[in-house]
Amino acid sequence: MSHLFEKPRIRLSGDRAILVEYGDAIDPAVNEKVRAMTALVKESLPEGVEAVIPAYRNLSILYNPLVTSPDRILPHLLGLEARLREIEVPKPRTVEIPVLYGGECGPDIGFVAEHSGLAVDEVIALHAGTVYPIYMIGFMPGFCYLGGLDSRIHTPRRKTPRTLLPGGSVGIAEAQTGMYPVDSPGGWQIIGRTPLRLFAPERENPFLYEPGDRIRFVPVSSASYNRIYEGEGR
């Protein structure tokens, strides 16, 4: 069953933003539509549009009300949508994230394995064997809401959250997997850590990925972890 709306649903979010909704569920087809529309809108930003923020099933368009209004933006959007079939939307990029699984970097991997009735190696193979779409980035800089975690390794959150997770920690919470870009408290089951700096504000591009990209986790040895870590200029 498709969760795609036939026509987008428009919602007002105050006097400087509209929400354009393409479906009502977390669904790859709905998010693909969001991704395609985001790419098209960004290609030729209408005058007065200040930001386009894609999410699971909608995009938020922030505008300057002294310059434009929803009456001007919406026809433009519908025009773009009508041309979706003819236009080639760029394919999503896949960004590889090296991860050192288990050990000190992934203290909860044993719990995930036990909970799933699998061996630790099988958990790693399943987690690293999927290409995850980035449905949305939010909550903190660079924090991805990823889709597609294999149901065999869905695991509840920890009963007691940790007060400090090192930046780069990779974890599982229920049906979600993700990475903590910077040091923060958190209740996810931590299975590994990436040596990459996922948010480096002083870098020309502070981020390694954007919404709509895909993430693939690549298991690395502790020797390569250390080598990459050293090269990240902390």
Partner 1 sequence: MDAFRVVSTGSLTTVQDLGRYGFIDRGVPPSGALDLAALRIANLLVGNPEGAAALEITMAGPVLEVLCDAADVALTGADMDLSVNRQAAPMWRTLRVRKGDLIRIGRAGSGCRACLGVTGGIDVPLVMGSRSTCVKAKIGGVEGRAIRKGDILRRLPADPLRDPRSVLPDVIPAYSADIVLRAIPGPQEEAFAKGLDTFFGSSYDITPEADRMGYRLQGPPVHHDEGFPQSIISEPTIPGNVQLPADGQPIILLVEQTTGGYTKIATVISSDIPKIAQAVPGNRVRFQRATLEEAHRVCREQALRMQALEAHLVPLR
Q: Is 2 in the site for partner 1 (CB under 8 A)?
A: no
Mark the segment that binds partner 1 (CB under 8 A) among 44-52, 79-87, 99-107, 120-128: 44-52
CB of 223 to partner 1, least distance (A): 31
Q: Beta strand pairing status for 58-63 and 17-23? A: antiparallel
Judged by CB under 8 A, the chain residues 151 through 210 that form the site for partner 1 are: 181-182, 201-202, 206-207, 210
The closest alpha carbon to 39, from 54, 57, 49, 26, belongs to 54
Which residue has 């896949």 as its token pair?
A: 94
Give the residue with the Cβ less far from partner 1, 18 or 172: 18
Contacts of 217 (CB under 8 A, 6+ apart): 96, 97, 98, 99, 127, 128, 170, 192, 194
Q: Is 136 in the site for partner 1 (CB under 8 A)?
A: yes
Give the residue with the Cβ less far from partner 1, 55 or 99: 55
Q: Beta strand pairing status for 214-219 and 94-101? A: parallel
User: Do the beta carbons of residue 20 and residue 46 sit within 8 Å?
Assistant: no
Q: Out of 58, 116, 155, 194, which residue is the one contacting partner 1 (CB under 8 A)?
A: 58
CB of 57 to partner 1, least distance (A): 6
CB of 38 to partner 1, least distance (A): 8
Contacts of 113 (CB under 8 A, 6+ apart): 119, 120, 122, 123
Give the residue with the Cβ less far from partner 1, 30 or 191: 30
Q: What's the rounded Cα separation, in Å, for the pair 63 and 108?
A: 44
Contact footprint for partner 1 (CB under 8 A): 11-17, 19, 25-26, 50-58, 60, 62, 65-66, 69-70, 136-143, 145, 181-182, 201-202, 206-207, 210-211
